């Protein structure tokens, strides 16, 4: 059986195109990676008897004023970013901790939670007596392929008096 040079060339070209086209299509149509910043300004309204301090360390020597999650490449799977925050009751009364955020007004994609460490209970309505340091964590969850951009929102934390 004699196969002509043109037939061999045609079959070879078909095989090469069959292998190369998917690679070229992937490179052309893939979703590009974007980076976006995240940041938070932590605020704590103070009253004479209800005062909360926010710290990066358990010894309460490094104050938290801003929680910055930095830059990251848009994730291809859901991603959680967590920051530990120590809260100290610096007042002289039992305090119920409450917080809210403007994150939902900024985006509906990124979600947040603030919990008491190890107990895995929400921080809202947790009570803390004077001079006690509470280990907490603030976590955001970024969905896969979130919209690229810069996200900034404000956390507000306050205390209400609580009688045990």
- The stretch 28-37 carries a mean pLDDT of 41
- Whole-model pTM over 0.85: no
Same domain (yes/no): 157, 137: yes
Rounded Cα–Cα distance for residues 74 and 142 (Å):
9
CATH code of 62's domain: 2.60.40
Looking at residue 47, its pLDDT comes to 58
7-16, 66-75, 93-102, 127-136: least confidently modelled range: 7-16
Same domain (yes/no): 54, 80: yes
Same domain (yes/no): 127, 61: yes
- The more confidently predicted of residues 26 and 11 is 11
Question: Mean of the per-residue pLDDT values for the chain?
Answer: 79
Looking at residue 46, its pLDDT comes to 55
Same domain (yes/no): 77, 147: yes
Same domain (yes/no): 22, 73: no
Structural domain containing residue 13: 1-30
Same domain (yes/no): 74, 104: yes
- The more confidently predicted of residues 117 and 161 is 117
Reported as a single tens digit per residue, the pLDDT across 134-150 is 999 999 999 988 888 88
Give how many domains the chain has, as a whole number. Answer: 2
Same domain (yes/no): 84, 131: yes
- DSSP letters spanning 116-154: ETTTTEESTTEEE-TT-EEEEEEEEEE-TTPPPS-EEEE
């Amino acid at each position: 059986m004699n196969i002509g040079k043109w037939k061999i060339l045609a079959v070879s070209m078909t095989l090469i195109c069959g292998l190369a086209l998917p690679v070229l299509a992937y490179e052309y149509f893939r979703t590009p990676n974007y980076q976006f910043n995240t940041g938070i300004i932590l605020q704590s309204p103070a009253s004479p008897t209800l005062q909360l301090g926010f710290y990066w360390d358990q010894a309460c020597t490094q104050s938290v004023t801003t929680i910055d999650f930095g830059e990251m490449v848009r994730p291809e799977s859901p991603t959680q970013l967590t920051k530990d925050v120590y809260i100290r009751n610096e007042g002289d009364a039992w305090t119920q901790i409450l917080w809210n955020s403007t994150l939902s007004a900024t985006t509906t994609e990124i979600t947040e939670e603030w919990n008491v460490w190890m107990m895995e209970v929400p921080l809202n309505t947790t009570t803390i007596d004077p001079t006690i340091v509470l280990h907490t964590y603030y976590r955001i969850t970024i969905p896969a392929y979130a919209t690229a951009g810069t996200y900034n929102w404000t956390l507000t934390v306050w205390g209400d008096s609580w009688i045990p």
